[in-house]
Amino acid sequence: MKHKSFIILLITTALISPFTFAQNQQHQHRHKRANAFMIQGTVENMDEEPVPNAIVLIPELGISVPTDESGHFKFTGIKQGNYHIEVYADDYMDFISDSFQLRKDKTHFHVILSKKLSEEVVVTATRTEKLYAEVPVKTEVISHRDIKQKQAQNLADSLSLTTGVRVENKCQNCNFTQVRINGLEGKYSQILINNSPVFSSMIGVYGLEQLPSEMIDRVEVVKGGGSSLYGGNAVAGVVNVITKEPQSNQTSVEMHQESIAGNPFTNVGFRSTLVSEGGNTKGFLFADYKNRAPVELNGDNFSELGKLKNTSFGLNLYNHFPKLKGRLKLGFFRIHEERRGGDMFEKPPHEANLAEWIKSDLVEFSADWDHYLKQNLYYNLSFSIMNAKRETYYGAHKDPNAYGATQNPVLFLNAQVNYQTDSHLFTLGAQFKGENLQDKALGYNRIIDDEYNELGLFLQDDVKLSDTFSLLAGIRVSRHSMVDHFIFNPRMSLLVNFTSDIAWRTTFSTGFRAPQIFNEDLHITQVGGQGMIIENSSDLKEETSYSLSSGIDFGRQIGQNVLQLSIEGFFTLLTDSFTLSKKEYDPRENALVFERINGPDSRVYGVSIDLGYKRGSRLSWSAGWTFQKSRREKPEPDFHTKYFFRTPGSYGYARLNYTNSKLLCVELSAEYTGKMKVPHFAGYIPEDRLETTQPFLVMDAKLHRPFPITSHYKVILFLGTYNLLDSYQPDLDRGLERDSGYVYGPAKPRSIYAGIEFSF
């Protein structure tokens, strides 16, 4: 019986054993899986674009994976323990993370790679794409990351914190801004959009604030005369706004809400990029909406910051033709803006005591064709057309005559051929710029209907003489419809690479500015109750600049650390500068008539110093300072001084950025402006006088934190303040008779903002 029971037990055990074994295997597998974790993340560059084919390594385990086309990577089956990751990619600095303890079932990393010091590509200095380390002309680059860190809303905001560059507010009513490069007024700077000089004098009055940051990929600034490549108005320097060419599929929406002395300012921005599967077709779409309530600060019921509503959108399309070795780019944007300063905003402008009302509409189309005929032979054909329309009211005392209208289409055509030999890059080009300006203020009997045409031919040789020496030489011949002779603009630059860390750049360049009727200050006198009419003298000559700069650049990269130092001296001679002379006797009523004549020469000279330190993508610090003198050869007639107005003898900035996506990201900046001479005209004060301003310091602070939802979706929350110390101009004029041009301080008082950005 016992034997029979044993047989039954043996048979039962045999039948159950496979199931028991399977259960044990499943249990062991679940146990192993419970102790196996995941490490994943994304690798992006400083412009928030994915970096494909980067190698992500876990040294403790000796395993690595590449990132995919979206910059994603993933490790699975990793046991608990202490690890760190390393990321390596061509043209980028190496990344080494802090040590971390793997405990959770998933650890996510957001890695940002910085370009190597020698890999920055610029185009403005030579009209060709070149590594900055190989360009003889010094070029300042403001990246999209810089713009976002500063929480800049437009081009004007983006240009601050750049050595030798100052953005100033020039009107207490309408708040128009201008950019000064090395001390010269904004009218001497040429604004480009993708290398095209379609910003006219009229468009430039409000254009710096109208171009939204959403459309900007980066800004390049070249100081000194640039007319050899870009024609008229490139006297003090060139500011080139470059829009984005997509590298990946990405969309972001940002909501920015600000309080300016208790008054709301809303900004909503949208950016989207699309790249086809093969990468040959790309699209970039942006849109932006701004709405600002008027801000009054000194109790006189007249605004210091005007009411503003701005809507803009645009589209860039790219298509590469691999068989043809060509690329076509089509661009379009439209900006519609209405701004108004003064008082009684609920009434029409002519029923207010004081009003500056401007309704602008900018539309731009562009096309660009690049084609490689051979590996060493390339040509470019491009055109841009911008049509600007504007309705205005610049008036006081309920003047019904102060309405006006302006239309200003600008056409730019460019043809350029580049030929590369062993050591020479020859560039031959032809450009045409046509502009029509119709400006009417019928109540003041002012009608401008002018056409300006400029044809230019340029030749440039960019030669690499040796590993140490590079030379850039070029000349342009221009014919302008307002000048009865040919204008020659040569330039020459020398680059000496003493070592891989030390470079010396020296540049001589020239620029010119042709006579035109329109002046950006027309409205300031007009608001006082009289229109301004400007006529050119019969023997008026073009303004001409001669610029010389020379400086040392030092940059050393050691692992994840980068140290940079730059010292540059500059000198500009401006000859035959335009000045206005009032006509004492003129039959026209209700208007002031001025004649534009050539005045004495002027000189600007000084030195700029830049210092920067970067620790990978986690920590960066930079500072810059400019010392300069700006003097006329003879005293100007109103205040009998040789000093340039609104030009401080010293100014500078400092900036600190700390990035920790798991904790907090911090951006701090400070901008200092020294003493300067500013004219103060009678109205609120009994008589004209020349003021010497006190220095002021503007500090900004921003905190933000990214919250990755998945590997594809991310939310960023941010909080910050502009002008933390409330360093606002204390002596602004008051009342109806105020001098609206007596503005020299920060653009706005202390402001607090918060917002959210959602990207996927």
pLDDT digits (tens, 9 = 90+) for 639-685: 999 999 999 999 999 999 998 877 889 999 999 999 999 999 998 99
C-alpha pair distances (Å), 430 with each of 237, 425, 460, 736: 21, 17, 12, 51
In a domain, 5, yes or no: no
In a domain, 163, yes or no: yes
In a domain, 26, yes or no: no
Query: Based on the domain organization, do 519 and 445 belong to the same domain?
Result: yes
Query: Based on the domain organization, do 548 and 439 belong to the same domain?
Result: yes
C-alpha pair distances (Å), 259 with each of 293, 363, 518: 10, 31, 36
Nearest to 112 by CA among 173, 179, 51, 199: 51
- Location of structure tokens 């500068």: 577
Q: What is the pLDDT of residues 396-428, one digit of tens each?
A: 889 888 898 999 999 999 999 999 998 999 999
Contact criterion met (CB below 8 Å) for 384 and 377: no
Q: What is the pLDDT of residues 181-230, one digit of tens each?
A: 998 988 899 999 999 999 888 888 899 999 999 999 999 999 998 888 88
Query: Based on the domain organization, do 463 and 413 belong to the same domain?
Result: yes
Query: Based on the domain organization, do 130 and 109 belong to the same domain?
Result: no
Query: Based on the domain organization, do 310 and 424 belong to the same domain?
Result: yes
Domain boundary among 113, 148, 180: 113
| Burial of 218: CB neighbours in 10 Å, binned 0-12, 13-18, 19+ | buried
DSSP SS3 for 3: helix
Give the largest Cα separation in the chain, rounded: 141
Calpha distance 723→750 (Å, rounded):
5
CATH of the domain at 269: 2.40.170.20
Contact criterion met (CB below 8 Å) for 177 and 152: no
In a domain, 7, yes or no: no
Query: Based on the domain organization, do 83 and 214 belong to the same domain?
Result: no
In a domain, 502, yes or no: yes
pLDDT band at 480 (very low <50, low <70, confident <90, very high): very high
Query: Based on the domain organization, do 622 and 643 belong to the same domain?
Result: yes
pLDDT surpasses 70 at 2: no
Query: Based on the domain organization, do 157 and 97 belong to the same domain?
Result: no
Query: Based on the domain organization, do 182 and 269 belong to the same domain?
Result: yes
Please state the pTM of the whole predicted model: 0.88
Give how many domains the chain has, as a whole number. Answer: 2
| Burial of 217: CB neighbours in 10 Å, binned 0-12, 13-18, 19+ | middle
Calpha distance 601→219 (Å, rounded):
31
Calpha distance 127→135 (Å, rounded):
11
Q: What is the pLDDT of residues 55-105, one digit of tens each?
A: 998 888 888 899 988 888 988 888 888 888 888 888 787 888 878 888 765
Query: Based on the domain organization, do 251 and 147 belong to the same domain?
Result: yes
Query: Based on the domain organization, do 41 and 165 belong to the same domain?
Result: no
Residue 694 host element (H or E): none
- DSSP bridge partners of 367: 330, 383
Calpha distance 287→313 (Å, rounded):
4
Domain boundary among 80, 113, 146: 113
Report the pLDDT value the prediction gives residue 465, as an integer from 0 to 100: 92
In a domain, 206, yes or no: yes
Query: Based on the domain organization, do 85 and 212 belong to the same domain?
Result: no
pLDDT band at 119 (very low <50, low <70, confident <90, very high): low
CATH of the domain at 94: 2.60.40.10
CB atoms within 10 A of CB 588: 13
Structural domain containing residue 65:
35-113
In a domain, 28, yes or no: no
| Burial of 528: CB neighbours in 10 Å, binned 0-12, 13-18, 19+ | buried
Q: What is the pLDDT of residues 288-307, one digit of tens each?
A: 999 999 999 998 999 999 99
Domain boundary among 82, 113, 144: 113
In a domain, 25, yes or no: no
